Each structure stands twice: as C-alpha cells, then as structure tokens.
Amino acid sequence: MLRQTICSAMVLGALVTGSGTALAENRLALVIGESAYRSVTPLPNPANDAKAMSKLLADSGFDVTSVADLSQKEMNRQVGDFAGKIAAKGPDTVALVFYAGHGMQIDGENYLVPVDVDPQREADIPLQAVRLDDILNTLNSVPSKMRILLLDACRNNPFPAINVTAGRGLAMVDAKTGAPGTFLSYSTSPGAEAEDGDGSDSPYTTALLQAARTPGLPIEQAFKQVRLAVNKATGGRQTPWDSSSLTDNFEFTPGTGPQAALTAAKTDTGKRSVDDWRRLLQGKPVEAAHDMVVNDGSLEAYEAFVALFAQSQFAAEARDWVVLHNRMMAWNDAVTINTAASYRAFLADYGGSDLAVTARKLIERLRFKPSVMPVVAAAAPANFALGPCTTPSAPPALKKADVAPAIEPATPVIVKKVDITTRRDVDPPARVTTLPARPVQVANEPVYRGPPVVYRPMGLRMGFAGGFGGGGFGRGPMGFGRRF
C-alpha cells in the first residue's frame, strides 16, 4: 500500500512539473485586426477575429498587445515595439503574431495591407503596405524560442486598379529555409483566396479558436484540425496551409494527465510516400479518405486520393488542390532562381495562370540585370581546366603592352664624403637610397581588374536571403530575398 502511494505521488509530481515547465516560458503576442479600410469596403470580421484571438491567447498565458485599424506607420511601429518586448523578455520567449485583414502578393512578395492604403498601381503597394518578410526579419533580429505567425489575410484583392494584374492570394513561404523555430500559417492555400465568413468570425479563426483550446494538443496537430474544419465549413473552397521549422514543442493550452497522453499518442509526424498513402486509403469510404487527406495536407496524400477516387464527389476539389499546389511550387522556384529562364519555364507550364502577367513583367525587368560572367572569365586563370580530364592548354602569348617591364632593384648611390667642418655653405651629405622594386608581371598570371561598378535599378533589392530574419526566408524577388 505504501509503495503504491509513493508511486502515485511521483506520477502526480511529474505531471505538475511538466505543466509548470510548459507555462514557465515567456509568451508574448501581437494581435492586429484591420477592418476599417478607408479606400475600399471595410471588412466586418477582422475586428471580431482579433478580439476573440486576444482572449484565447490571454487565457493561454500570453501577454497580449491587441491593436486595430493601423496605418502603415503605426503597423511598423507596433512590430518594432513588439520586437523590443521580445528582447526584454529574453531568448526563452514564444513570440506570436496574429493578423486579420487584407493581404496580397506583388512580384512574388507578400504584403499585409494597412487601412490607409490607396494604390493606383502595383508599384504603390511596396510603398504603402508592410512587407511580410520585413516582419519576419524584425522578429528574427532578437533571440527567441520560437516565432508563430498566423495570417487570416488571404481575402480577395479589393483594389480595382491592381486586382487584374496582381497574383491571387499570398505567395508561398518555406519556413524551413529560414531561421529554425518558425511556424507560419495561412487561412487558405498559397495562391487562393479566403472567405471573410457569414458569422462573427472568419472560418479560419473559428476553427483555430476551437482547436487551440484542446488541452495538450501540439501546434502541428492543432492546425491539421483547423485544415479539416475550414475545408468542411467552406464546402472545400478553402483549405488552410502551414509551414514549420519548429524545433521545440508548443501547445496553446498545456495539458496534463490522461488527456495529454492520449493527444500525444495521436500525433503522427511520419512522412508517407504516394504509394504509402495509396495503401493506407485503399478500401476506405470516400468521406473518411477525404478527411484523412485534408487533415494531412501533403501533396503525396492528395495525389494518392486523386488516383484512387477519381470519380468521387471530392475528386474535382482534390485535383484543383494539386494543380494549385504545383503551380505555386513552380512559382516559388521561379522567383527564388530569379532569372529570365526560370520565368520562361514557369510560363511554359502556366502561361494562362493569374501569375503569367507578373512573370512576363519580371522577364522584361531582368533585361537590365548586369551579367557577372565576363568578370568571372577575366579573373579565371588562363590555364583553367573545366574538368579533371581536360588537358590544360598552353597560356596564350601576351602582347608587349600587356606585360609590365621588370625593374631590378636600384644600385645604391654613394655620395663622396664632404668635410662639413670647413664647408658650411654646401648641401648636407646625401643618404644611401634604394628604390623599391616593381613587381614583375608573369606571362600566364591573370590580371584582376576588380568588379565593375553595377547600377541596380529601383525595385530590385538584395534581400532571406535572410527570411524570417537572422537567417531570413529565402523568397524570390523579395529578399526572405534573392533580388539583385
């Protein structure tokens, strides 16, 4: 009996310790709701979404800063102040940003849209909006345990002047190419548009509020539930997307006891191939198979579903998802490589897509990109071989004008000693002087002339490379960026 009592006390102590550890970390949140847009129709739900998320996060142990209807200047200031709070709390801080409002992609870069934006052309957005990569880089500029960005920002483009030429939704961002410890979620798939919803909250926020309250549910598992709930609520028109480079566990609502153990047991982090998914889905009822695929959200799962259930009521939805996913992956590759050839390759496969106009525009812009190949060629040794089996060619003979004449060290000049005791009107005795030798130009030695001065046109920025900051996100024309 005594032994049983001691064991029970040890288990209880372990559970309490585990719960205390989960809450010991610093939790900071910045919640932004943009509803009162001035130049277009206001959005009703972001204000409600922000209030509901603020309450949820406060109940989950976050120190919440909740702001609404910010201008560009105010949004930038709030993000900067938030980074300052993270720095003050220390590196054991979970930093979360929730944004509800308009968002869009321009030239492959994502922007959050403040309420004071009034663009007349695409070029106005980078000047008036807030670049997502800048937020990511700011958060990564200070040490923290993890960064979580939740964006209910994929609503339709409301600006008539640019909604024909700009791509739909948000461009894909791969958190794995940035600093470790980042989780990014969109309210729908990259390149798609989300619904504002008919209720008091958007479908995405509604699903998130429910999943996040489940005790002991890891964040990756929570967003699997969010995907499925939003997909069902919108009749398959909207499926959230996320990307993660987290290295630590995170739960919105820390759990203890049997519930936490049960939740952890349900978590499946293994990655399956298409063949694995076909075997797993084979023989399942179509509704159950569809739910499994949406919950997982991987390309392999969707491809297996399309192959097995090509005649089902969910087949068109699954095929559209695969096509959109492949298109956005191809677009991400094109803007990451950022060459005329990469954009032409995209156009060859997706010349009729909403991103074709942007691809052609970037090809035209790249006409002004300076080529560095001549510089590389000039700096390469004359006997440089392309491969191990290449026979080195003899160095070409240089013209006389190409070789600087060799100058041997000068012979010391000795001046005759003068008796200065009797001659005070003569010049002081000359010192022994040696002229420095000039370097001899060897015939096969390359001449480095230095890099040329390169003009970089406006709008083509160096960037993430750093992405979410510190090691930022490598995003195409932006610079989580690789712009020239």
Q: What is the C-alpha to C-alpha distance for residues 359 and 370, in angstroms, rounded to an integer?
A: 19
Residues 190 and 278 in one domain: no
Residues 302 and 256 in one domain: no
Residues 37 and 106 in one domain: yes
Higher pLDDT, 465 or 366: 366
CATH number, domain with residue 229 = 3.40.50.1460
Q: How confident is the model at residue 228 (pLDDT cuts 50, 70, 90)?
A: very high
C-alpha distance from residue 31 to each of 226, 296, 389 (Å): 19, 27, 61
Distant-in-sequence, close-in-space partners of 9: CB < 8 Å, separation ≥ 6: none
* Residue 479 confidence (pLDDT) above 50: no
Q: What is the C-alpha to C-alpha distance for residues 286 and 304, in angstroms, rounded to an integer?
A: 12
Contact (Cβ atoms closer than 8 angstroms) between residue 432 and residue 441? no
Q: Which of 246, 266, 286 is the last residue of a domain?
A: 266
Arithmetic mean of pLDDT, 411-434 = 47
Higher pLDDT, 270 or 205: 205
> How many structural domains does the chain have?
2
Residues 287 and 145 in one domain: no
Residues 280 and 262 in one domain: no
Q: Is residue 482 part of a domain?
A: no
Q: What is the C-alpha to C-alpha distance for residues 54 and 369, in angstroms, rounded to an integer?
A: 46
Q: What is the C-alpha to C-alpha distance for residues 251 and 214, in angstroms, rounded to an integer?
A: 9
Q: Which of 115-124, 174-183, 258-267, 303-312 has the highest mean pLDDT?
A: 303-312
* Residue 269 confidence (pLDDT) above 90: no
Task: Give me the pLDDT at residue 301, please.
Answer: 96
DSSP letters, 108-165, are TEEEE--TT---SSGGGHHHHSEEHHHHHHHHHTS--SEEEEEEE--PPP--TTTTTT
* Residue 482 confidence (pLDDT) above 70: no
For 356-377, b/e burial (b = at least 16 CB within 10 A) is: bebbeebbebbeebeeeeebee
Contact (Cβ atoms closer than 8 angstroms) between residue 199 and residue 209? no
Residues 69 and 135 in one domain: yes
Decide: helix, strand or coil at residue 182.
strand
Decide: helix, strand or coil at residue 47.
helix
Q: Is residue 138 part of a domain?
A: yes
Higher pLDDT, 117 or 260: 117
* Residue 19 confidence (pLDDT) above 70: no
* Residue 163 confidence (pLDDT) above 90: no
Query: Tokens for 158?
Result: 């409301």
Residues 131 and 99 in one domain: yes
Q: How confident is the model at residue 233 (pLDDT cuts 50, 70, 90)?
A: very high
Residue 260: its H or E element: helix 257-266
Q: Is residue 128 part of a domain?
A: yes
Give the lowest-confidence range in 221-225, 265-269, 329-333, 418-422: 418-422
Q: Is residue 237 part of a domain?
A: yes
Q: Which of 217, 241, 266 is the last residue of a domain?
A: 266
Q: What is the C-alpha to C-alpha distance for residues 275 and 284, in angstroms, rounded to an integer?
A: 15
Arithmetic mean of pLDDT, 130-135 = 95
Residues 126 and 248 in one domain: yes
Task: Give me the pLDDT at residue 222, please.
Answer: 96
Give the lowest-confidence range in 45-54, 67-76, 110-119, 172-181: 172-181
Residue closest to 347 by CA, chosen among 333, 265, 367: 333
Q: What is the C-alpha to C-alpha distance for residues 246 and 273, in angstroms, rounded to an integer?
A: 22
Q: Is residue 17 part of a domain?
A: no
* Residue 42 confidence (pLDDT) above 80: yes
Task: Give me the pLDDT at residue 445, please.
Answer: 43
Residues 111 and 208 in one domain: yes
* Residue 21 confidence (pLDDT) above 90: no
Residues 262 and 281 in one domain: no
Q: Which of 266, 297, 318 is the last residue of a domain?
A: 266
Query: Tokens for 410?
Result: 């000068």
Strand partners of residue 30: 65, 97
Per residue in 290-304, pLDDT (tens digit) is 999 999 999 999 999
Q: Is residue 71 part of a domain?
A: yes
Give the lowest-confidence range in 48-57, 154-163, 165-174: 154-163
Name the DSSP class of 218: B
Q: Is residue 478 part of a domain?
A: no
Task: Give me the pLDDT at residue 209, please.
Answer: 95
Q: Is residue 453 part of a domain?
A: no
Q: How confident is the model at residue 462 (pLDDT cuts 50, 70, 90)?
A: very low
Task: Give me the pLDDT at residue 158, please.
Answer: 81
Arithmetic mean of pLDDT, 155-162 = 77
pTM of the model: 0.72
Contact (Cβ atoms closer than 8 angstroms) between residue 173 and residue 110? yes
Task: Give me the pLDDT at residue 196, please.
Answer: 74
Q: Which domain holds residue 314?
A: 274-368
Residues 220 and 322 in one domain: no
Residues 254 and 314 in one domain: no
Residue closest to 271 by CA, chosen among 296, 248, 252: 296
Task: Give me the pLDDT at residue 194, please.
Answer: 84
Q: How confident is the model at residue 77 (pLDDT cuts 50, 70, 90)?
A: very high
Task: Give me the pLDDT at residue 468, please.
Answer: 38
Residue 99: its H or E element: strand 93-100
Q: Which of 163-172, 251-260, 317-326 has the highest mean pLDDT?
A: 317-326
Task: Give me the pLDDT at residue 3, please.
Answer: 47
Mean pLDDT score across all residues of the chain: 77
